[in-house]
Chains A and B, each alone.
Chain A
Amino acid sequence: MTRRFAVPAAVLAVLIGAGVFAWSTRETSDEREIRSRLDTLRNEVNTSTKDGIGVALHAAQIGSYFTEDSVVELGEGAAPIKGRETLMGMVARLQPRTAAFRLDLDDVSIEMVPGDAADVLLTASFTRRNISTGEESLDAREYALVMTKADNTWRIARITAIDTLR
Chain B
Amino acid sequence: MSIGSLTRRLVFGSHPRRTLVRVLVLATLSFIIFKWVLIPIRAEGISMEPTYQSGSLHLANRLAYRYRSPARGDIVAIKLAGPHVLYVKRIIGLPGEHLSIERGQVYINGAPLTEAYVKNRRGWDKPDVALTGREYFVIGDNRGMRAADHDFGRVDVSRILGKVVF
Binding site for B on A (CB under 8 A): 3, 6-7, 10-11, 14, 17, 106-109, 121-123, 125, 137-138, 140-143, 162-166
Contacts and interface: CB of A to CB of B under 8 A. Distances in A.
Contacts, number: 65
B138 A165 contact: yes
B25 interface: yes
Nearest to A141: B80
Interface string B97-122: 00000000000000000000000000
A17 B20 CA distance: 17
Interface of B: 17, 20-21, 24-25, 28, 44-45, 78, 80-85, 87, 89, 138, 151-155, 159
A165 B21 contact: no
A140 B80 contact: yes
Given A121-B81, A123-B84, A125-B85, A164 B155 contact: yes
A163 B154 CA distance: 10
B45 A14 contact: no
20 contacts: A3-B17, A6-B17, A7-B21, A10-B20, A11-B24, A17-B28, A106-B81, A106-B82, A107-B81, A107-B84, A107-B85, A123-B80, A123-B84, A125-B85, A140-B80, A140-B85, A140-B87, A164-B80, A165-B87, A166-B155
Nearest to B89: A165
